[in-house]
Amino acid sequence: MKANGRHYRSIWFDAGKRCVKIIDQRWLPHEFRVVDLVNRDDFVVAIRDMWVRGAPLIGATAAYGMAMQMVLDPSDLSIEESWEILHKTRPTAINLRWALDDMRRLLSETPIEKRAAVAFARAGEICDEDVECNRMIGVHGLSIIREIAARKPEGEPVRILTHCNAGWLATVDWGTATSPIYHAVDAGIPVHVWVDETRPRNQGAQLTAWEMAGNGISHQLIVDNAGGHLMQHGLVDLVIVGTDRTTARGDVCNKIGTYLKALAAHDNDVPFYVALPSPTIDWTVADGVREIPIEERDASEVTHVQGRLPDGTVTQVQICPDETPAGNPAFDVTPARLITGLITERGICEASVKGLVGLFPERLAG
């Protein structure tokens, strides 16, 4: 996708400088910063402190973190330590564990002198695979938008509500929930995107809105609590969200507030779809509400907000009394019964064991 008129991926390897480059998302939309990650500690900080975020991008970043560590120490002990250290950074997003498991298995089977080269090659493949997964999510999701557009008066946009940022900034490119939107625009279908602000970190306001503006897509920022009102008044045709972990039976763990949007959509007969690349499916978990660990982040993300002052300075300000404590669960779980369908790289299915196994029959053997 584009930033400042130029195509970027959210992460890439700079062979000349022998480092991995990322877009430091903490500063968007006010500043566009590209930073270098050169050792394992850099990757730990980047994931933990949300320089990068979004389940697919977290996984890709962790894979490159393992690769950079193999340059410094390709030993068996280094592989295990790196897995442990990187895995602790974000407990909810399953792509992190998926990528680390994949890298650990591959490197353990590789002669020590070849581990660095093999690790970088595999990290690059994980990135390329993510791009293709998300492109295909867009291809399949386009059919939903096209069907809705065919029922609307000519020229009237399909109005899509999003939550958090499941865009190209959350993946390597294309995004999950945004990929069908980008494909619809490319196909000439008019769309309008309702962008949830997504408190407390405001990923919708800061990131999704920035993506939409940068790619010339009609959009409007709304407060998180406005979605139900818009649905009641027939102003939302479709909800598409992403996911950080999807269970084998179709429950979806996503950014806090997703569950409330699903309830509002269900009450107003608005289709509610979840876009996910298959590495986001945790086949070992059935009951998302009881089995998925929910990350509790620092209270300062709730008590403070970041913004730009009139003089251009980007800073944080406190919004509550000094004495007020804050809770900050980062995710919630939407039960499968509230989900119209899951959009994957292999197609669209119902949110159920039957639906998922229908698209991924090889899992029956697992």
The pair of structure tokens assigned to 57 is 């991008």
| C-alpha to C-alpha distance for 336 and 350, rounded to whole angstroms | 9
Q: What are phi and psi of 195, to 5 degrees?
A: -105, 105
Bridge partners of 239, per DSSP, are: 161, 272
> Distance (Å, rounded) from C-alpha 149 to C-alpha 156?
8
244 belongs to the catalytic site: yes
What is the rounded distance in angstroms from the CA atom of residue 121 to the CA atom of residue 112? 15
Helix then strand then coil, in percent of the chain rounded to 5, is 45, 20, 35
Q: Which of 244, 251, 282, 332 is catalytic?
A: 244
Whole-angstrom distance, CA of residue 256 vs CA of residue 198 = 8
For residue 20, the cross-strand partners are: 13, 37
Could you tell me where the DSSP H helices lie in the chain? Answer: 40-48, 55-72, 76-87, 94-108, 115-151, 179-186, 203, 209-214, 227-232, 258-267, 288-291, 300-303, 353-359
- How far is it, in rounded angstroms, from Cα 320 to Cα 318? 6
DSSP 112: G
* Distance of alpha carbon 259 from alpha carbon 308, whole angstroms: 30
3-state DSSP of 58-107: HHHHHHHHHHHHHHHCCCHHHHHHHHHHHHCCCCCCHHHHHHHHHHHHHH
Give Cα separations from 102 to 99, 115, 252, 279, 311 (angstroms): 5, 13, 23, 11, 47
List, by residue number, the catalytic residues. 244
